[in-house]
Chain A
Amino acid sequence: MPPTDASKPVLEARKVSKRFTLHGPGQYGKEVHALEPVTLALHPGRITALVGESGSGKSTLARLLALAHPPTSGEIRLDGERIAAARTARGKRAYYRQVQMVFQDPFSSLSPVHRVRHILGRPLQLHGGAQDKAARERQTVELLERVNLTPADQFIDKFPHELSGGQRQRVAIARALAARPRVLLGDEPVSMLDVSIRLDILNLLGSLRDDGLAILYITHDIAGARYFADEIKVLYAGQLVESGPGEELVRDPRHPYTRLLVESAPDPDRIAPPPDPDGDDAPPGEPPSLVDPPGGCRFHPRCPLAVPQCATTFPPRTHLSAKRWVHCWSHDAGVPQIPQADPVPHTDCPVPHTDRPVPHKDKDNSP
């Protein structure tokens, strides 16, 4: 594995956006605005969680990073170098040696006609780790042990259908690790698994992070993201709206959408019923259509704090601290105007949330 410098990002998306063109009668010229310009950096030894609802563009971003689609605008940089050559097979292979992906569904991501030995041996061979059979066998066993499929000889000759969902997802992770990547893109890697085995997979990702891997963890489960990610970024309808250290962001969400997510998450410790974001009789809001998205901040039609400005202009980035920023007009005036966050007082909060840093506006980073 090449030397890693934790302060420098391995993989970056710089202002990447994606529009999908629609086809079919009545849809000529229409586009799905799946992702507005998004900047995101993955650092070695860090898990970055990307949280959002279905259709928020989180998988689109992962697919752009995995070169499954070319971005409509913006660029992807690996170690600071722009990825342009990756259109050739050779360029792609070099890229995938560094960046690997784990998919949501372990039932369809593994070839049903091959044994685990082949599923893991093939990338070992392709990505140059092991040329002869004995080395490949040894490394396959090492991979299985790394993902806690032990004893390895019990698993190496199995077909995917002989494994449980959790075991299959471990094989999928082992396959991604076979290329000795520096970046792992996980697109909802645990949401198809049973509750009792999710934690094992997440703990495995945690230990891979400790080994220096840069991990993108895409999820809709904000409680899990708080637990396992160093940093959470919240995506709504293709726009990044808030980012910060996981713990802080969940305890004190500053964007109205992040607050809605946190308040909607199941929480057996909740004392009072969650305040109703839409008002008691208002019809429930839903994410907008991305074919004809609302202007300005896309959350404004559902936002309790919306002002006329929200409908016309996407708010600039307001930095709340070195690691924390939010895109919301209510934070722009210098003093946050969100009413008292966190309705449930918790004695074990290490930082009282009255200690709010004075925000300052950052003009360079607004998309």
Chain B
Amino acid sequence: MSHVPERYEDELLSEEPLSDELLSDELLSGELLSVEGLSVDYFDRAEPVHAVRDVRLGVRRGETLGVVGESGCGKSTLVTALTRLERPPAVITAGSALYRPREGEPVDLLRADERQLSALRWRHLAIVFQSAMNALNPVHRLGAQFVDVLRAQRGLSKKEAQERAGELLGLVGIPADRLRAYPHELSGGMRQRATIALALACEPELVVMDEPTTAVDVVMQRQILKQIGKLQAEFGFSVVFVTHDLSLLIEIADRIAVMYAGRVVEVGPARQLYENPAHPYTAALRNAFPPLRGPRRPLTGIPGSPPGLRHPPAGCAFHPRCASRFAPCDTEEPELLPAGAGEAACHLPTHADAPRTEEAPDATD
């Protein structure tokens, strides 16, 4: 970690393995992935930037967990840390991410070494990126990229791999003859579907999707989402779906985590976040999408802009933009505490003297 200034070396993640207690925690065993206290810093200048702070998340088996936030909220940093694709100057400084495969020992992804990671990748953990053009190798035919993975990971013969590649493309509605095509010969939507098929090549248990539909049109987005849902029902994998589009997540996710300024500020069932958000930011974000139906009422955005992480506001990072802020908001950072069927990091529900009436104007409609 030569890029980290010496004086910060104490802050780095300890190499010690997790205690047996944590590893055998029966309470959490329903979760495929349990993330605790994850923090990621960027050490590119004199002072580290805390891009992700103390994130706690659980991904249950077979569910779709949505992660939503605006640009700079740390959602992509979170994803790259979880998949251990973080690159300098990003450094994981604290936390654990316990992955419990159906078969075999639980693994802490944050402390896994390269050998463990390469055993996990593809077969347990796959990722779909936003830019399919960059995820596929432009100088190899589509088929070669599938065959490569299938032979290396599953030990198939070339012929078997070819057949399997054709089947995989079929799953996402691409005719098998497109295996001969180069990535640039496919449309954007087809490329994105091909990367999804590639991610599923080894039937992983967890698929992380970082804005998989942001670069495609709305009709193609709908078709891709439909296919992801169908494949998920068939293979039973869990999805972590990262996007900035809350209105989309409410439709497709089982649970949603809302991120703001590097922290998870609310997490809960999708319907609850939509109908009864506990955090004013969630409510404001929900109201920032013009609805497709129903009467038109005046809509307001959120005043101000998302904070820079180099100098985040004191207390609750959202307080400068929050309509319901009161005494403790600009000094005390709220903790993520139970709220309804989920959790929220906001002073409003926990303070008896909180100004309930001034809650975001929309919370009840």
Stretch at the interface among A78-86, A120-128, A189-197, A306-314: A189-197
| CB-nearest residue of chain A to B190 | A286
- Contact B305–A268 (Cβ < 8 Å): no
- Contact A251–B244 (Cβ < 8 Å): no
| Complex interface: chain A residues within 8 A of B85 (CB) | none
Given A194-B244, A197-B305, A262-B292, A268:B250 Cβ within 8 A: yes
- Contact A284–B284 (Cβ < 8 Å): no
| Complex interface: chain B residues within 8 A of A348 (CB) | 294-295
Within 8 Å of chain B (Cβ to Cβ): is A150? no
Which chain B residues numbered 299 to 316 have a C-beta less than 8 Å away from chain A? Answer: 299-303, 305-306
| CB-nearest residue of chain A to B296 | A227
- Which of the residues B189, B246, B288 comes within 8 Å of A284, measured between beta carbons? B189
B141-179: contact bitstring with A at CB < 8 Å (1 yes, 0 no)? 000000000000000000000000000000001110000
- Contact B288–A267 (Cβ < 8 Å): no
- Contact B292–A53 (Cβ < 8 Å): no
- Contact A203–B292 (Cβ < 8 Å): no
| Complex interface: chain A residues within 8 A of B87 (CB) | none
Which chain B residues numbered 263 to 283 have a C-beta less than 8 Å away from chain A? Answer: 274
- Contact A260–B219 (Cβ < 8 Å): yes
Within 8 Å of chain B (Cβ to Cβ): is A333? no
| Complex interface: chain B residues within 8 A of A262 (CB) | 292
- Contact A284–B217 (Cβ < 8 Å): no
B305-337: contact bitstring with A at CB < 8 Å (1 yes, 0 no)? 110000000000000010000000000000000
Give Cα A204–Cα B30 distance, bound, in whole angstroms: 49
| CB-nearest residue of chain B to A195 | B288
Within 8 Å of chain A (Cβ to Cβ): is B184? no
Which chain A residues numbered 223 to 265 have a C-beta less than 8 Å away from chain B? Answer: 223-224, 226-228, 247, 250-251, 260-265
Within 8 Å of chain B (Cβ to Cβ): is A26? no
Within 8 Å of chain A (Cβ to Cβ): is B245? yes
A222, A269, A282: residue with the most chain B Cβ atoms closer than 10 Å: A269
- Contact B217–A53 (Cβ < 8 Å): yes
- Contact B293–A167 (Cβ < 8 Å): no
Within 8 Å of chain B (Cβ to Cβ): is A131? no
Within 8 Å of chain A (Cβ to Cβ): is B226? yes
Within 8 Å of chain B (Cβ to Cβ): is A278? yes
Within 8 Å of chain B (Cβ to Cβ): is A111? no
Within 8 Å of chain A (Cβ to Cβ): is B222? yes
- Contact A194–B70 (Cβ < 8 Å): yes
A222, A268, A344: residue with the most chain B Cβ atoms closer than 10 Å: A268
Within 8 Å of chain A (Cβ to Cβ): is B289? yes
- Contact A346–B293 (Cβ < 8 Å): yes
- Which of the residues B193, B217, B222, B296 comes within 8 Å of A54, measured between beta carbons? B217
A195, A226, A286: residue with the most chain B Cβ atoms closer than 10 Å: A195
- Contact B189–A196 (Cβ < 8 Å): no
A27-62: contact bitstring with B at CB < 8 Å (1 yes, 0 no)? 000000000000000000000000001100000000
Given A198-B288, A260-B219, A276-B226, A266:B305 Cβ within 8 A: no
B105-141: contact bitstring with A at CB < 8 Å (1 yes, 0 no)? 0000000000000000000000000000000000000
Give Cα A61–Cα B45 distance, bound, in whole angstroms: 46
Give Cα A54–Cα B251 distance, bound, in whole angstroms: 24
Task: How many A-B residue pairs have C-beta atoms within 8 angstroms? Tell me.
Answer: 128
Within 8 Å of chain B (Cβ to Cβ): is A270? yes
B interface, size bucket: 35 or more
Within 8 Å of chain B (Cβ to Cβ): is A74? no
| CB-nearest residue of chain A to B227 | A284
- Contact A223–B290 (Cβ < 8 Å): yes
- Which of the residues B189, B244, B292, B295 comes within 8 Å of A265, measured between beta carbons? B292
- Contact A220–B292 (Cβ < 8 Å): no
| CB-nearest residue of chain B to A260 | B219
Given A199-B299, A284-B173, A194:B306 Cβ within 8 A: yes
Q: How many residues on the A side are at the interface (Cβ–Cβ under 8 A)?
A: 48
- Contact B301–A198 (Cβ < 8 Å): yes
- Contact A266–B70 (Cβ < 8 Å): no
Given A53-B219, A199-B288, A226-B290, A167:B189 Cβ within 8 A: no
Give Cα A274–Cα B220 distance, bound, in whole angstroms: 14
Which chain A residues numbered 168 to 195 have a C-beta less than 8 Å away from chain B? Answer: 194-195
B213-241: contact bitstring with A at CB < 8 Å (1 yes, 0 no)? 00001111111101100000000000000
- Give, as a whole number of angstroms, the nearest-CB distance from B281 to chain A: 9
Within 8 Å of chain A (Cβ to Cβ): is B14? no
| Complex interface: chain B residues within 8 A of A284 (CB) | 173, 189, 193, 220, 223-224, 227
Within 8 Å of chain B (Cβ to Cβ): is A283? yes
- Give, as a whole number of angstroms, the nearest-CB distance from A365 to chain B: 27
- Give, as a whole number of angstroms, the nearest-CB distance from A289 to chain B: 9
| Complex interface: chain B residues within 8 A of A321 (CB) | none
| Complex interface: chain B residues within 8 A of A226 (CB) | 290, 292, 296
| Complex interface: chain A residues within 8 A of B305 (CB) | 164-167, 194, 196-197
Within 8 Å of chain B (Cβ to Cβ): is A200? yes
- Contact A223–B294 (Cβ < 8 Å): no
- Which of the residues B174, B227, B284, B295 comes within 8 Å of A196, measured between beta carbons? B284
| Complex interface: chain A residues within 8 A of B244 (CB) | 194-195
- Give, as a whole number of angstroms, the nearest-CB distance from A145 to chain B: 16
- Contact A274–B187 (Cβ < 8 Å): no
| Complex interface: chain B residues within 8 A of A261 (CB) | 218-219
Within 8 Å of chain A (Cβ to Cβ): is B248? yes
| Complex interface: chain B residues within 8 A of A198 (CB) | 288, 301
- Contact A195–B274 (Cβ < 8 Å): no
| Complex interface: chain A residues within 8 A of B219 (CB) | 53, 260-261, 264, 277, 285
| Complex interface: chain A residues within 8 A of B285 (CB) | 195-196
| Complex interface: chain A residues within 8 A of B175 (CB) | 283
| CB-nearest residue of chain A to B295 | A348
- Which of the residues B70, B227, B296 comes within 8 Å of A195, measured between beta carbons? B70
| Complex interface: chain B residues within 8 A of A344 (CB) | 293
A-B contact pairs, 13 of them (CB 8 A): A164-B305, A196-B321, A200-B303, A220-B218, A223-B291, A266-B292, A267-B247, A267-B291, A269-B292, A276-B226, A283-B173, A283-B174, A286-B189
Other than A223-B290, A269-B293, give 4 A-B pairs with Cβ distance below 8 A.
Answer: A222-B218, A282-B173, A286-B187, A286-B189
A-B CB proximity, top 4 nearest: A199-B301, A284-B223, A264-B222, A196-B302
B interface, CB within 8 angstroms of A: 70-71, 173-175, 187-190, 193, 217-224, 226-227, 244-248, 250-251, 274, 284-285, 288-296, 299-303, 305-306, 321
